[in-house]
Chain A
Amino acid sequence: MIYLLASLGFGALFFMLKTYLQLNSFYLIAFSLGFLILISFFTGKFFSKIGLPAITGYLITGLILSPYLTGGVPVYVLKATKFIEEIAIVFIAFQSGMEIELKFLKQYGKEVIRLTMLIALFAFAGIFATSLFLLKKFPGNVLNTSIILGILLILKSPLSTIAIIKESNTNTLFGEKILGIAVFKDVLVVTLFAIIVPLLTSGNSSAKLIVYGLIGSVVFGILLGFLISLYMKHIKAEAHVLIFLLALFITELSYIHLDPLIISVIVGFFIKNFTVYDNEFSKILNTFSPILYLLFFTLADSGIDIRNLIPLIPVSLLFIAVKWVFTMLGISLGTKDVSLRKYGAIGLLNQSGLSLALIVLAEAAFPVEGPIIKGIVITVIVLTDIFAPALFKKVLVKVSTEEAS
């Protein structure tokens, strides 16, 4: 209760001081960030206390304080702090990569890849068909809308998956498999998106660029992983500063058509599986991750204009239901693992934050269909953000107890 009171108290103080003080733009950033951290932190603690994931608390704080709902955090501050989200994504992707163990891949890789393909195929088919049927009356080519929506709604957030697994304090094979599927889904969707969007728009003019982007990102990731391990072997000093700088550098690589997310996952994967510095690297990530997780999940939803999403709630709920049913179908055909068959679809429900980045590309490629695609995907993200992390946490604890007994 004390955490809720603290969150409400800081919230009230934030609004009061913001109205009373006329802060200039730079100081407004520091002021808003400071209060955002406090309010979000205590909301997260309150949620943890009542058995829900702290992330749900961060996301709800972001939604409430968004410029479009209560006007707590001004648009200017959100734009100015966009880079924090970019850095956070790199750090979280480092951790995603570190979660993929070669040993696990050797043992379960085939199963996870087969499952990912099946789930993706079924989920795509379900969403594609529903979209063809439901979105006929919306402007633009319904085929394009359905294909892009089908690809985007396959995604499951590896970032929140890691966060929930860490928060639930469980170590289950079920959790590892769900994370593996989430990561492979990301790789699959990024690849599919990179191939299909140019095909639907301008033919194959940028096919070379796509191949270059994918292969280049993997090569660059390996190279960076190797360089980090060299640094840790020979220099060691202030490695956390170097890694923070590197994260910032990786966010800039999209300008040369490399994918920061793939690079970061590969860096984490390389360090975990091909070097002996995984513990040190993990320690460094853990020093930054609490504050970065908090800021990322709070800022991610605070940029969403919830008012425009309300009319799309029914249709988005339908898409969530379709995704859930078809994911279950894919799982039941792809595995005999009891836990996965029972709870897998719940674990894979949370829509990925990566889709936010891909929406921007979709909007640019499909100016007519873009707005409806964006509206539905964001509504699905917001809705699943509210309940999916809590369900996943419950399921993890349940599976952990079942595995133990």
Chain B
Amino acid sequence: MKEIFVVALLIGAVSYFASDIVFNRRYGFVKYSGIELYIVGVLFSFVTDKNIISSLHIFVIVALTFIGFSFGIQFNRNMVKRITFKELFFAFLFSLTFFVIYLLLGLLGFNDNREVLSMILSMPSVSFLFAIGEKRFSVVSSEISIVFVLLFGSFLKFGFSTLVVFLLSPVFAFVLFFFEKALNKEEMNIILFALLLIESSLSASLGFDPLLSSWLFGFVFALLSNSQVFIKSFDALERPLFLSLLFFIGANFGSGFYELPKLLSLILPALVKPAFGGLLFHSNPLLFLPIGAMGIAVAAESNSSKIMTFTVISYFMFLFLSEVFRRKFLK
């Protein structure tokens, strides 16, 4: 266990140090992409025992609960109050349309994990939209659409055990909220850490999505408390966690690479998404091309080498294309 922990810690440390470089520079399409971490992960896969890499999945699940919670607490009371019916409806339409389209396409040749692929491909990149200063309507709708996609995917993948999430996560949120006034920030962090550890292990054993459950945990807590207690610490964690996932995906490089030609055939239909997104949100279609960080998280959760490799290649490719088009047409 110590060996695995050391490797996980090293990955975390590399991601932490790299996040300053990756997210603070000002050049090229690789800006924000984290491609370096993926490449380091690939190189790492050649020098590390495969058993250690597969054992890292427990840490990925824990990381996903942190990511999910961090995403959930962004839906605080103020933000939720401002959500319009139109945003909610468009988000639903956007997510459902693409989830179904990719699900049907998946039937053509990707019977295993097709719901995971649908989730990944139908999630927009909120951080990309936010980074280029896209209007609030598109950003908020995209954020909500990710939640819908998580819901669709979870029900399809895990069936009715997903309902456990709706019982369990609010309980976790209530526990945290209940002690909020009595405890200081450090103590709250300890309680949250413990609850997220429990949530990650329960999601693995009861069969539900750690991302969705921890999102709901964060969401209910943010609604109850409207406190900013965790926002700052999670802001600092988000980027290193995302880079760690890219590293992990790189380390799982291998069998997925050989199945790539088959998987890449899915990329072409993926181009339909920006067209529809652009039409729906009256924005430039190219903004809806990139795969989001949550897509990367879903891929890492699948623990399938081919899904991870496919996702990350599509992620870099779409990011590159959208950057090129953005420079050419959006000046």
A positions within 8 Å CB-CB of B: 2, 6, 17, 21-24, 26-31, 33-35, 37-38, 41, 79-83, 237-238, 241-242, 244-245, 248, 290-291, 294
Contact = CB atoms under 8 A, between A and B. Distances in A.
B190 A41 contact: yes
A242 B189 CA distance: 21
21 contacts: A23-B201, A26-B55, A26-B58, A30-B197, A30-B200, A37-B194, A37-B197, A41-B187, A41-B191, A80-B1, A81-B1, A83-B1, A237-B20, A238-B20, A241-B13, A241-B17, A242-B13, A245-B9, A248-B9, A290-B187, A294-B190
B197 A34 contact: yes
A34 B201 contact: yes
Majority SS of interface residues in chain B? helix
B9 A290 contact: no
Contact of B194 (A21, A41, A80, A245): A41
A95 B214 CA distance: 35
A23 B205 CA distance: 6
Given A80-B1, A241-B13, A244-B9, A33 B186 contact: no
Nearest to B17: A238
A97 to B, nearest CB: 22
A21 to B, nearest CB: 5
B58 A245 contact: no
A31 B194 contact: no
B6 A27 contact: no
A41 B16 CA distance: 28
Which 7 pairs of residues, A with B, have the shortest CB-CB distance?
A34-B197, A34-B198, A31-B201, A80-B1, A37-B194, A83-B2, A27-B201
Given A41-B187, A83-B2, A245-B10, 16 more contacts: A23-B205, A24-B204, A28-B201, A29-B58, A30-B58, A31-B205, A35-B194, A41-B191, A81-B1, A237-B17, A241-B13, A241-B17, A242-B13, A245-B9, A245-B13, A290-B186
Contacts of B88: none
B317 to A, nearest CB: 31
A29 B62 CA distance: 12
Nearest to A295: B190
B105 to A, nearest CB: 33
A291 B57 CA distance: 23
Contacts of B206: 21
A31 B197 contact: yes
Contacts of B201: 23, 27-28, 30-31, 34
A27 B205 contact: yes
B185 to A, nearest CB: 11
A218 to B, nearest CB: 26
A311 B17 CA distance: 54
A181 B147 CA distance: 58
Contacts of A79: 1
Interface string B76-118: 0000000000000000000000000000000000000000000
A238 B198 contact: no
Contacts of A238: 13, 16-17, 20
Nearest to A26: B58
B189 to A, nearest CB: 8
Given A34-B195, A290-B190, A29 B1 contact: yes
A294 B13 CA distance: 23
A41 B184 CA distance: 13
A30 B62 contact: yes
Contacts of B61: 30
Contacts of A80: 1
Contacts of A241: 12-13, 16-17
> Which of B2, B20, B204 has its CB near the most chain A CB atoms (within 10 A)?
B2
B11 to A, nearest CB: 12
Contacts of B10: 245
Contacts of B62: 30
Contacts of B12: 241
